[in-house]
Amino acid sequence: MDGISLIAGLGNPGPGYAHTRHNAGCWFLDCLQRRQTLAFRSESRFRGDLAEILIGGRKLRLLRPATWMNLSGGSVSAVTRYFDIDPGQVLVVHDDLDLLPGTARIKRAGGHGGHNGLRSIFSELGSQDFVRLRLGIGHPGNPDDVTDYVLRTPSSSDRDAIVEAIERAVDLFDSIAAGDWEKVMNQLHSSPSETED
């Protein structure tokens, strides 16, 4: 089974967005950075910040796009083209309205579910065959409220739940890097959550 060669954590740039629900993918990288002592560097050619780590004898790259969420695909595709990374070896970490806070789910391929970051990656990669780590942020209830909702800071209880889910996912980093999805799913999906879409 092919392992993962690139992990991209999605969000919007700048301190004004750092603590918003839409930046949950970046929170994952922040947590990983604390655990692994990663050194991110700004790379203009990739329109983002890139770090590298050796795991299991393989080089894994971690990307934090510096673009707006709806332009994330340009950053992700620049890295995959430069390093000749197949879409199936890419893991995209993103917030997910369809899952409750505290839920983390692995999903391979499928639709974008209205997520603008995924929509951009579909367009730029020309493929839907990458793996997603979906971090639940809950739904405001009214579709008209979604934009404001994802760009706001969650309540302390929701944030704690989201962070706890991220911590559980980072605990499985070695298995994620190896592409051992059965093990990862068994661990992550064993907690109560919304049903899969």
Is residue 159, in this structure, part of any structural domain at all? yes
Is residue 196, in this structure, part of any structural domain at all? no
Reported as a single tens digit per residue, the pLDDT across 39-85 is: 999 999 999 999 999 988 889 999 999 999 999 999 999 999 999 99
Is residue 28, in this structure, part of any structural domain at all? yes
Confidence bin at 37 (pLDDT 50/70/90): confident
Among 122, 109, 115, 108, residue whose Cα is nearest residue 136: 115
Q: Which domain holds residue 73?
A: 6-188
Reported as a single tens digit per residue, the pLDDT across 96-105 is: 999 999 999 9
The predicted model scores a pTM of 0.92
CB atoms within 10 A of CB 98: 18
Mean pLDDT value across the chain = 91
Is residue 122, in this structure, part of any structural domain at all? yes
Query: What percent of the chain is predicted at pLDDT more than 90?
Result: 80
CB atoms within 10 A of CB 102: 22
pLDDT for 152: 95
**Count of domains for the chain:** 1
pLDDT for 189: 83
Is residue 170, in this structure, part of any structural domain at all? yes
Identify the CATH number of the domain in which residue 160 sits. 3.40.50.1470
Residues with a catalytic annotation lie at 22
